[in-house]
Amino acid sequence: MIKDDAMTHAKAIVGVVMGSDSDLEVMKKCMDQLKAFGIAFEVRIISAHRTPDTAHEYSATAVGRGLKVIIAAAGMSAALGGVLAASTTLPVIGVPMAGGLMGGLDAALSTMQMPPGVPVAAMAVGPAGAPNAAILAVQILALSDSALGGKLEQFKKDQAQKVAKKDAEAIADWPAR
Ligand code: RP5
């Protein structure tokens, strides 16, 4: 089990919820990204199918507890994002997990095919979706936090610099011929 202080922060503003502890390893990329931006978050294992009452209680009380965004990761018939979105006005970001036999397509469709009126923002499956959920959460939070907006600007610059460095290496290694 991954655990540190940031995950049980009293002032958590992002809730990271997973359908199973089998999702934890992939979702560590989400927690790492939130930490990199200095976001206080909490982590819960709550299943839409196995602990539905807890799922309802979690999202129904989320605004009152100070959360601003909920991230929901689940695999197979991934109902978690939708179930959490049903009981809160907070934005819910879904991360489909690739645990099932369909390589995550099952979870991707379950996450994104929400009926009108109950949106869930669907990320890419698994390792790409996990950090992207954190970044999207930060982008939402940055709308009312200019310091966080500055961190996002820097994040974009750093990312571009890394690609430019690889580009320079590719040009050096593979000169035009
Ligand atoms: C989903 O079913 C979970 O989110 C997980 O991705 C998948 C399998 O869960 P376990 O059987 O590993 O607990 O609910």
Mean pLDDT of the chain: 94
**Would the CB of 138 count as within 6 Å of ligand 1?**
no
Helical axes 129-142 vs 24-36, angle rounded to 10°: 30
| pTM of the predicted protein model | 0.93
Per-residue pLDDT reduced to its tens digit, 78-137: 999 999 999 999 999 999 999 889 999 999 999 999 999 999 999 999 999 999 999 999
**Would the CB of 47 count as within 6 Å of ligand 1?**
yes
Q: Is the pLDDT of residue 72 over 50?
A: yes
Per-residue pLDDT reduced to its tens digit, 19-51: 999 999 999 999 999 999 999 999 999 999 999
Q: Could you write out the three-class secondary structure of 82-106?
A: HHHHHCCCCCEEEEEECCCCCCCHH
**Would the CB of 67 count as within 6 Å of ligand 1?**
no
At residue 132, φ and ψ (nearest 5 deg) are -65, -35
Residue 177 pLDDT:
85
